[in-house]
Amino acid sequence: MSEVVIEVGKRHIREINEEIQAACAAGHKVVVRNTLSRHNLGVGLPDGANVHFEGSVGYYCGGLNDGATITVERNAGWAAGEGMSHGQITIGGYAGMSVGAAMIDGTIHVKGDCGPRVGVAMKGGNIVVEGRIGYQSGFMAHAGKIIALGGAGHSCADALWQGEVWVAGPVDSLGVDVKVVEPSAEEVAEVDAILEPLGLADSSRNWRKMISGQRLWYFESRDASAWLMI
């Protein structure tokens, strides 16, 4: 697999993305340089593609990923991997707000901390964060797992549907309608199996598994105060 280097700078993003797509289609590994935190880099990459972004990227990097392996050297802006359906995205540093928003499947691995609303409305797949997840993480996650090894900010796992938030480390506060449950050995083994290929499995972790209390699944007027928690 030969390597193709693509320069970003001040060029038009559409032109850059077309070059990335063409290089991937030709079977090359792609390295993207001088990214300058520009937005929408590497959106809609196909199965089997392998793209590395040097430095930091802006909003929506790797969005709608359809099976590519994407790495970002440093930080990612808002909503990296938004709506992705397959593949793996690795972010070397910090991931901004809404990483993995509405993702369907695949894995996002963040080595640093994350901003607010990690995995907002996600519908499947896994988000693994080595650092801390921000405010209101897991907000309305329909399915899939958010696994945070370094703790969580306020309002954690707010208004979950059938998604799960797993946190090792301190949690500032829980969101609305969260139930913290004791995970079974099988469930812990499942999470370790997700962490294993990332080199992060550790059986000594003290997990807090958060799921929906299911009180907000149906609106009851007597629960209005919970809805109006703000």
**Residues binding other proteins (CB under 8 A):** 36-39, 55-56, 58-59, 74-75, 77-78, 94, 96-97, 115-117, 134-136, 153-154, 230
- For other proteins, give the closer residue by CB, 99 or 178: 99
Distances (CA, A) of 81 to 35, 120, 134: 17, 12, 17
> Least CB distance from residue 134 to other proteins, whole Å?
6
Query: Residue 118 and residue 110: Cα distance in Å, rounded?
Result: 11
Query: Residue 63 and residue 66: Cα distance in Å, rounded?
Result: 9
> Least CB distance from residue 38 to other proteins, whole Å?
5
- For other proteins, give the closer residue by CB, 81 or 134: 134
> Least CB distance from residue 95 to other proteins, whole Å?
10
> Least CB distance from residue 55 to other proteins, whole Å?
7
| Helix (H) or strand (E) segment spanning residue 51 | strand 50-53
Query: Residue 12 and residue 141: Cα distance in Å, rounded?
Result: 34
- For other proteins, give the closer residue by CB, 204 or 225: 225
- For other proteins, give the closer residue by CB, 110 or 195: 110
The two beta strands, 123-129 and 143-148, are parallel
Contact 82, 59 (CB under 8 A): no
